[in-house]
Structure 1
Amino acid sequence: MPLVPAFILRRLYVKSSLHNTTGGWSFTLRNSLGSGYATGLVPLKLDEATEIPMAKTWFIDGESGDTITFDQVTDQNTFGLKMNKEIEINVDGKPLPPGEHIVYFGCIVPGIGQIGFDFTDMVPS
Structure 2
Amino acid sequence: MSVHQFRVQVFYEDTDMGGIVYHANYLRYIERARSDWVRRLGNDQNAMRDQGIVWVVRRIEAEYLATAKFEDELLIETTVRDISGVRLTMDQVVRRGDQVIFTASVLAVCMNAAGKPVRLPAEIRAKLVPTGA
**Which structure has more helix as a fraction of its residues?**
2
Q: Same fold (TM over 0.5)?
A: no
**Which structure has more strand as a fraction of its residues?**
1
Greater relative contact order structure (CA < 8 Å, 6+ sep): 1
Instruction: Give the TM-score, by structure 1 length.
Output: 0.30
Instruction: Give the TM-score, by structure 2 length.
Output: 0.28
Rg comparison, structure with higher value: 2
